[in-house]
Amino acid sequence: MDAIYLVAAFWFFAAVLSTVLANRLKISIALMEIIVGSMIGLAAFQLGYFEKLSLNADWMKFCTGLGAMLLTFLAGAELDPDVMKCKIKEVSIIGLIGFAAPFIGCFLISFYLIGWSREASLLCGIALSTTSMAVVYAVMLEYGFNKTEFGKGILGACFVNDLGTVIALALIFAPFTYKTVIFIAVTIILIFTLRPMTDFIVRRFAYKTAAIRAKWVLFILLSMGVLALWAGSEPVLPAYVFGMVLAKTMEADGHFVRRLRTLTIGFLTPLYFLRAGALVSIPALLAAPVIFLVLFGGKVITKIFGLYPAIRRFREDKKEKWYYTLLMSTGLTFGTISALYGLTNKIITQEQYSFIVGAVIASAVIPTLIANKYFLPSHLLEAPILDDQVPDEKDIMNKL
């Protein structure tokens, strides 16, 4: 047991270091955690201590998986249904193009240019078609865009994009069985019943029973996570859907949302981002950098060429258009999930997995760094926001 505490203390020291460096270098904390994680992974590999990092330990997988679920849930909770109805055309068009352009482009690149098999190329196209909800939401939250209609539009487009990825993975590779039907049926039932049940619990027990809302949210997310895994799906997708379902309920209590963010961003997501960076096999990428660069370039270029013309229809400011495009070019959660699915089911090899995951994680870092450095639409933060701000929220998040 003492070994677990030691490893956990080491990773949270890395999280503190990442926060300090991010503050000094003026970049996103989530991105710095990925970078620091990759440096730690490389150093541990060179020194022969890679297994000591416990990256595949059950407790680490649980914490990082729960972190991804809660971060995705909070991202969904930021999407006001009324706002989304007004932006349905925007998020649908941009989200679908954000999925289709890299899926087709990266499939053609890996199949015809690199020479991978048809199945491996399809898996590559799926993995590189994603947009990183975890990174995008972390950046939105850090800068305050989550409270603007601009940020809500990006989050909505991210959801549509990743929904296309999940559907493509299921239709092409995952078997459609009675388990899938049960999972879909339970999800649909909860879409209509979860908010009334949650509102009843809030009215009856909130402010009387310690943190019952947090316990209820965790129970729902973990229960649906089990059902999703049993059905061959991923627990992150229902987490996002239920976040949207409970958006109005969450909006009513800013204090509860802040506490849930503190749990997520202060404890769980540092482990998620650090582990994601540490899992990148830098030696494998350096051994064949051309393939890595081709896949990374294929993902980002197809995203930009597909998305920028579409985004021009909805945004006029140059910084807004490029910021929107570059954030939609990121990838992490569903990209690594899809690549791991391919490796587990022997659709791709370990070497192909390293190339794909390397390209996915590079797309989480580089486009976001460029977007925040050169195209940050700071003028939107001076405009009126959609929701009532709690005065000390920005100070709290800066401390995180």
Q: Count other Cβ atoms within 10 Å, centred on residue 245.
A: 22
Q: How many residues does the chain have?
A: 400
Angstrom distance (rounded) from CA 68 to CA 31: 15
Structure tokens at 8: 């956990």
Dmax (CA) of the chain: 62
Show contacts of 177-180: CB within 8 Å, 24+ apart. Answer: 177/231, 177/232, 179/230, 179/231, 179/232, 180/231, 180/232, 180/233
Q: What is the pLDDT of residue 22?
A: 86
286-330 pLDDT, tens per residue? Answer: 777 899 999 999 999 999 999 999 999 999 899 999 999 999 999
CATH of domain 2-399: 1.20.1530.20
Residue 384 is predicted with a pLDDT of 47
Q: Return the domain boundaries, the chain.
A: 2-399
Single out the residue of 76, 191, 48, 198 nearest to residue 137, CA to CA: 76
pLDDT at residue 397 in the model = 42
Query: How confident is the model at residue 383, as a pLDDT?
Result: 52
The overall pTM is greater than 0.85: no
* pLDDT averaged per 10 residues, the chain (length 400): 89 93 82 87 87 88 88 80 80 94 96 94 94 83 86 88 85 82 93 92 76 88 91 80 86 79 87 84 80 94 95 92 94 80 82 87 88 90 51 42
**pLDDT tens readout for residues 174-184:** 777 898 899 99
Nearest to 387 by CA among 251, 262, 242: 251
pLDDT of residue 387: 45
